[in-house]
Amino acid sequence: MKKENNLTDDELSEISKLNREYQSVVFSIGELGLKKTQLQKELNRINEDESELLDIFDTMKTKESDFITRLESKYGSGSLDATSGKYISV
């Protein structure tokens, strides 16, 4: 035969407190999961923006290289002083 024991008020209070703490932690875990998902989406957008900007940067480098090639074809080997707007042939 099983014997039943009534818990004391202190024990019932402790169970109740543990249950509230457990629920609070579970809720906090859920909140962190949502924040993590939002941050991951933001990171994905940042990575996409970075990728687009790197593509633009590569295009600009190609344009710069093509421009220097045209200057060299026109003026010969040399260097560009962009500040003064002069191409110095060697």
Q: What is the pLDDT of residues 30-65, one digit of tens each?
A: 999 999 999 999 999 999 999 999 999 999 999 999
The model carries a pTM of 0.65
The residue to which tokens 């543990």 are assigned? 18
Q: Do the beta carbons of residue 68 and residue 79 sit within 8 Å?
A: no
Query: Using 50, 70 and 90 to split pLDDT, how confident is the model at 80?
Result: confident
Q: Do the beta carbons of residue 73 and residue 89 sit within 8 Å?
A: no
Beta pairing partners, 86: 81
Output the six-digit token pair for 3.
């014997």
Q: Which amino acid is at 77?
A: S
DSSP H helical ranges for the chain: 9-75
